[in-house]
């Protein structure tokens, strides 16, 4: 059965006190709505529609970054959840199959839960996701008759007996596309708020000879994010889950509470992550790697057996081959580092290709930017770059070549050659003592004048 997703992301989120649309606030360095889409990807949806409203252009742009096939529908007036879902009808024109409705501010719905909703659709026309609430408070209640969901009643409209129900409404719905839009067209707005409510489709389903049921998930999956406090709580929940996932997948976290992950972080087993390591988006680390303390990773790939850090930074485009060594206070950006290559101290390698088995000495800089354009440096295999070498790109250092310490390399270095580019040293006998005496006298005069 084909599946489509409708993700509601039109709310302003006034409690965020922000110019940024609520669903764009990040959890794990990804917009919060991306989490729900990631879980639902297990269904391999044929179409995905994101319904936008407040800040629609920004939300649409971020959605397209995640998947450029995502369709956008606009809710120009905030007239309730049923009205929001109905805005996706044109985008799903011609689609035949099931639709699952998600919420952009409910990021923790799991893959298993979404699969359970899809499975329940085989025996009911409408499926609603519920949860057993520790404190039902003012949630809508799911009124069940055996496995039949007869209706959803809002707290303010519920009887005392209905308020005693602890199975509450999460808002997520699954239904056949044609059935869903038929029911939505029947939803009225005869209520205090004058809005069209998605839960009303349950009673309408029974009235039109259809069936409805509910599946249940853990309450933690239904956490909604509506304020900065809840956003911080959500980030903590996300990080705790990712740390546990890493540990269970064979990764050693020396101090788990100090390591921070992104939604798409991947780390292979038998990797050791030392304290205070931060993973930005787009990081893949293969097996058997050691990531040393206080290092930062973003948009990079670290291959088998490599060591990075401490106090290292791998920026977007950094690619480390097997058994590479990146040491303390080294920054790598948009650069290929060859197998077994060592860049161990106080160095910047940007816009570069460094061959296998090369050693890059302390204080080396690839001078890649001329103020307007970026230029590339190429270093061959088994080369030796002396400490404090400035490589002024574009420049190439051949295989097994060497640069002398303190050199400024502005021309290509042939394979096997030694490049020396230094100013001639001149020693001035006794001048250091004279200079110190002069400076000390000036300092004493200044202090006396005070």
Catalytic center residues: 345
* DSSP structure class, residue 196: -
Other C-beta atoms closer than 10 Å to the C-beta of 438 total 10
Query: Which residue in 358, 416, 408, 411 sits closest to 388, CA to CA?
Result: 408
Helices and strands in the chain, H and E counts? 9, 33
Whole-number Å distance between alpha carbons of 397 and 394: 10
User: In 162-295, at which residue ranges do the beta strands (DSSP E only) sit?
Assistant: 167-176, 212-217, 252-253, 266-267, 272-273, 278-279, 284-285, 290-291
Other C-beta atoms closer than 10 Å to the C-beta of 216 total 16
Whole-number Å distance between alpha carbons of 175 and 208: 14
**Which sign, positive or negative, has the C-alpha torsion 418, 424, 426, 432?**
negative
Q: How far is CA 262 from the centre of its chain?
A: 4
- Between vectors from CA 15 to CA 12 and to CA 20, what angle results, nearest 5°? 45
């Amino acid at each position: 059965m084909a599946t489509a997703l409708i993700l509601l992301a039109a709310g302003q989120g006034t409690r965020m006190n922000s110019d940024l649309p609520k669903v764009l606030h990040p959890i794990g360095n990804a917009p919060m709505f991306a989490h729900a889409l990631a879980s639902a990807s297990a269904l391999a949806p044929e179409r995905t529609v994101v319904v936008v409203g407040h800040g629609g252009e920004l939300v649409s742009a971020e959605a397209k970054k995640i998947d450029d096939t995502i369709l956008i529908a606009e809710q120009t007036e905030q007239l309730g959840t049923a009205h929001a879902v109905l805005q996706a009808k044109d985008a799903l024109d011609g689609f035949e199959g099931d639709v699952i409705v998600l919420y952009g501010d409910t990021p923790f719905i799991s893959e298993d839960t979404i699969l359970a909703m899809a499975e329940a659709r085989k025996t009911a026309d409408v499926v609603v996701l519920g949860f057993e609430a520790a404190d039902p408070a003012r949630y809508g209640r799911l009124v069940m008759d055996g496995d039949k969901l007869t209706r959803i009643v809002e707290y303010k409209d519920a009887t005392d007996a209905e308020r005693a129900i602890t199975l509450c409404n999460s808002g997520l719905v699954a239904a056949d596309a044609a059935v869903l839009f038929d029911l939505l067209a029947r939803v009225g707005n005869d209520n205090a708020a004058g809005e069209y409510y998605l839960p009303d489709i349950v009673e309408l389903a029974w009235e039109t000879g259809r069936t409805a049921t509910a599946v249940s998930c853990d309450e933690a999956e239904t956490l909604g994010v509506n304020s900065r406090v809840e956003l911080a709580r959500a980030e903590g929940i996300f990080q705790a889950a990712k740390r546990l996932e890493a540990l269970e997948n064979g990764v050693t976290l020396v101090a788990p509470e100090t390591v921070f992950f992104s939604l798409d972080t991947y780390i292979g087993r038998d990797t050791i992550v030392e304290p205070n390591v931060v993973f930005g988006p787009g990081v893949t680390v293969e097996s058997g790697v050691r990531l040393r303390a206080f290092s930062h990773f973003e948009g990079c790939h670290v291959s088998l057996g490599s060591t990075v850090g401490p106090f290292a930074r791998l920026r977007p485009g950094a690619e480390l081959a097997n058994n590479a060594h990146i040491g303390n206070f080294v920054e790598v950006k948009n650069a290929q580092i060859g197998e077994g290559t060592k860049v161990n101290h106080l160095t910047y390698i940007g816009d570069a290709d460094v061959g296998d088995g090369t050693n890059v000495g302390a204080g080396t800089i690839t001078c890649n930017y001329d103020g307007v354009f970026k230029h590339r440096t190429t270093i061959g295999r088994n080369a030796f770059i002396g400490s404090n070498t400035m490589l002024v790109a574009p420049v190439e250092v051949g295989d097994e070549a060497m640069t002398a310490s303190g050199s400024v390399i502005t021309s290509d270095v042939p394979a096997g050659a030694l490049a020396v580019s230094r100013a001639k040293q001149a020693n001035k006998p006794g001048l250091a003592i004279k200079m110190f005496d002069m400076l000390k006298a000036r300092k004493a005069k200044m202090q006396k004048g005070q």
